[in-house]
C-alpha cells in the first residue's frame, strides 16, 4: 500500500490530480498511512471491491477517473500517458492497460498470456478489452456516471467486466498493453482452486450469466484477498492438492472438450444421436441444404424409393432456395433447424440464441413449418446453448453414423462408412450442402445414395424420419 501511494505521488504528470484511497474496513492502519502521504481517504463500510470502486468514483472530481489496486506500483509516466491518450482520442471513453505480476506462480503464467490475447482480440473485434487486469483502468468520469457506475450486484468479481460491457455501448475502450503496472501476485499464490473455481468460474462467469438471465446477483460471497492467510490456514490439504492440479486441469479441459466436440456427448444437456431399438429402422438425415442442384437430386432419389428423410437446413440457404425448402415439406420429409449461417463461433458467443430464432422465423415464413428439431453445426455444443434450446422446446439431434462427406471422399468410401456402421435405431448423417457455399459439390454423395439405400433395404432396414424414430412431433405448435 505505501508503495502504491508513493508511486502515485511520484508521477511526472504536470497537471492537477487527486489521490483517493477507499478504506474498505482495513485493520492494518491503511487510512493513517494514506492520509500521511497526502491522499483523500474515503470510508466504505460495505465489504466488496465493487462498493469500494463505486465509493471512489462518487467522490472523484476530476474529468478522468483512474483506478488502481492497492497492491500495485505504477510507473512514473502512468498518469501522463493516460492523460495524453484521452487528449488525443476524443472518441474513447475508457483505456485499459496490462499488469505484470511480481513472483507470479507458474500455473498462472499461461493464463496471463491468454488474458492478454483475449484482450487484444476483443479490442480488435469489439472495440473493448475482455478484462481489466489488476484494476489498471481509466475512464471519462461523465461516461462512468452516465452508465451508472459499478453494478453493486457484483460486489466481489465480475463488476469490472460488467462495467466494460455497459461502458462500451457509449464509446470505444482502448487496450494498451504497454500501459503496464506492476502488481503483487498475492491474489494468486496458493489459491489455485479458489481462483479457478470460485473467482473465475463461479463469481465471474456464472455470476454474469446468472445476472444476465435473471437480473439477480448470484448467491454467496467471495473471500477477500485480505482473508487469504486465513484461507490457507483453514485448508491444510491445499499444498498437497497442488500436485494433483495438472492432472485435474487436464481432466477438466478434456471433459469440456468432450462435451463440446463429441456429437454424442450429453455433458451439457439432453440430445439424441440414435435410439435404442431392436427393430431394423434407421433415419437418413441431410445437412447444410438446400443446395442446388444437389438437394433436388436427393429428393428425386428419395421419391423413387418412396423414402422419407429429415433435412437439417441452414436458414440462410432456405432464404436462397425457398422453392427447394417448400418441396422438401410438400413431399413429406421433415425440416429441422441447422442454425442461421452455420457459424462455428455461434454456440460460444450467441448466448441468447438470436441465430436460432432468425433461422426458425425464416423457415416458418418460407416453408410454413416451425421446426421442433435442432442440429448444432459440426455437432458443437455449449452449456448455455443447450439451456436455451431446451427453453425454446427444441429437441437436439446429432448422429451416430457419418461418412465425413462434407469433404467428399470417393463414393465407395462413403458407402462403406455408412453401411458398415449402421445398426438398428441409427441416425445417419449425409450432406446435400456444405455450410453456406452455394452449389458446393455433393456429386459423390448423390452417386452413392441409391447403393446405400439398396444395401440397407436388402439387410432388412426400413427408413423413417427422425421424429418417427424418436417418437416426437416434427414441428412446434
Ligand atoms: Zn452442418
Q: For residue range 265-277, what is the model confidence (pLDDT) as tens digits?
A: 888 889 999 999 9
Catalytic residues: 287, 431
Residue 230 has pLDDT above 70, yes or no: no
Of 37, 44, 77, 81, whose CA–CA distance to 59 is shortest?
44
Of 415, 359, 420, 417, whose CA–CA distance to 392 is shortest?
359
Give the pLDDT of residue 435.
94
Longest dimension (CA), the chain: 92
**Cα gap 34→2, rounded to integer Å:** 7
Residue 3 has pLDDT above 50, yes or no: yes
Q: For residue 126, count other CB atoms closer than 10 A to its CB.
A: 14
**Cα gap 240→253, rounded to integer Å:** 21
Please tell me the distance between residue 136's alpha carbon and the centre of ligand 1 in angstroms.
Answer: 43
Residue 427 has pLDDT above 70, yes or no: yes
Please tell me the distance between residue 258's alpha carbon and the centre of ligand 1 in angstroms.
Answer: 19
Residue 223 has pLDDT above 60, yes or no: no
Query: How confident is residue 233, by pLDDT bands cut at 50, 70 and 90?
Result: very low
Please tell me the distance between residue 314's alpha carbon and the centre of ligand 1 in angstroms.
Answer: 8
Residues near ion ligand 1 (CB < 5 Å) are: 287-288, 377
Query: How confident is residue 443, by pLDDT bands cut at 50, 70 and 90?
Result: very high
For residues 302-316, average pLDDT: 97
For residues 384-391, average pLDDT: 89
For residues 89-104, average pLDDT: 89
Give the pLDDT of residue 203.
66
Query: How confident is residue 23, by pLDDT bands cut at 50, 70 and 90?
Result: confident
Please tell me the distance between residue 113's alpha carbon and the centre of ligand 1 in angstroms.
Answer: 33
Among 136-150, 344-358, 394-408, the minimum mean pLDDT is found in 344-358
| pTM to 2 decimal places | 0.54
Angle at 348 between CA 344 and CA 349, to 5 degrees: 100
Give the pLDDT of residue 193.
67
**Cα gap 102→182, rounded to integer Å:** 7
For 409-421, write each residue's pLDDT tens digit: 999 999 999 999 9
Amino acid at each position: 500500500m505505501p508503495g502504491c501511494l508513493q508511486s502515485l505521488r511520484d508521477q511526472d504528470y504536470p497537471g492537477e490530480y487527486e489521490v483517493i484511497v477507499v478504506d474498505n474496513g482495513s485493520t492494518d492502519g491503511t487510512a493513517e498511512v494514506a492520509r500521511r502521504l497526502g491522499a483523500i481517504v474515503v470510508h466504505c463500510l460495505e465489504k466488496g471491491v465493487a462498493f469500494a470502486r463505486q465509493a471512489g468514483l462518487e467522490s472523484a472530481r476530476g474529468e478522468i477517473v483512474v483506478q488502481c489496486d492497492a497492491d500495485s506500483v505504477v510507473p512514473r509516466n502512468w498518469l501522463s500517458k493516460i492523460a495524453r491518450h484521452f487528449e488525443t482520442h476524443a472518441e474513447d471513453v475508457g483505456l485499459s492497460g496490462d499488469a505484470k505480476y511480481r513472483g507470479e506462480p507458474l500455473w498462472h503464467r499461461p493464463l496471463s498470456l491468454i488474458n492478454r490475447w483475449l484482450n487484444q482480440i476483443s479490442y480488435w473485434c469489439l472495440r473493448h478489452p475482455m478484462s481489466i487486469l489488476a484494476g489498471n483502468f481509466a475512464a471519462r468520469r461523465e461516461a462512468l456516471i452516465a452508465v451508472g457506475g459499478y453494478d453493486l450486484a457484483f460486489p466481489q468479481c465480475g463488476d469490472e467486466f460488467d462495467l466494460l460491457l455497459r461502458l462500451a455501448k457509449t464509446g470505444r475502450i482502448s487496450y494498451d498493453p504497454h500501459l503496464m503496472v506492476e502488481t503483487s501476485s498475492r491474489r494468486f499464490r496458493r489459491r489455485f482452486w479458489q481462483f479457478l473455481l470460485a473467482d473465475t468460474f463461479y463469481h465471474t462467469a456464472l455470476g454474469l450469466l446468472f445476472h444476465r438471465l435473471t437480473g439477480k446477483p448470484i448467491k454467496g460471497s467471495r473471500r477477500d484477498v485480505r482473508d487469504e492467510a486465513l484461507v490457507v490456514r483453514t485448508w491444510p490439504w491445499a499444498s498437497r492438492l497442488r500436485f494433483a492440479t495438472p492432472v485435474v486441469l487436464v481432466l477438466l479441459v478434456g471433459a469440456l472438450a468432450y462435451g463440446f466436440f463429441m456429437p454424442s456427448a450429453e455433458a451439457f444437456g439432453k440430445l439424441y444421436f440414435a435410439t435404442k431399438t431392436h427393430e431394423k429402422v434407421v433415419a437418413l438425415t441431410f445437412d447444410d441444404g438446400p443446395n442446388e442442384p444437389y438437394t433436388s437430386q436427393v429428393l428425386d432419389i428419395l421419391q423413387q424409393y418412396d423414402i422419407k428423410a429429415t433435412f437439417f437446413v441452414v436458414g440462410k440457404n432456405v432464404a436462397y432456395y425457398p422453392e427447394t425448402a417448400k418441396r422438401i415439406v410438400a413431399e413429406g420429409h421433415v425440416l429441422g433447424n441447422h442454425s442461421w449461417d452455420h457459424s462455428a463461433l455461434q454456440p460460444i458467443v450467441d448466448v441468447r440464441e438470436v441465430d436460432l430464432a432468425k433461422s426458425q422465423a425464416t423457415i416458418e415464413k418460407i416453408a410454413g413449418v416451425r421446426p421442433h428439431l435442432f442440429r448444432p453445426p459440426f455437432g458443437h455444443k455449449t452449456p448455455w446453448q443447450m439451456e436455451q434450446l431446451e427453453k425454446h422446446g427444441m429437441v437436439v439431434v446429432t448422429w451416430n453414423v457419418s461418412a465425413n462427406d462434407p469433404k467428399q471422399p470417393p463414393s465407395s468410401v462413403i458407402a462403406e462408412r455408412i453401411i458398415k456402421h449402421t445398426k438398428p435405431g441409427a441416425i445417419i448423417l449425409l450432406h446435400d450442402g456444405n455450410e453456406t457455399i452455394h452449389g458446393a459439390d455433393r456429386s459423390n454423395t448423390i452417386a452413392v445414395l441409391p447403393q446405400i439405400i439398396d444395401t440397407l433395404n436388402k439387410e432388412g432396414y426400413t427408413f423413417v424420419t427422425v421424429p418417427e424414430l424418436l417418437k416426437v412431433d416434427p414441428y412446434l405448435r
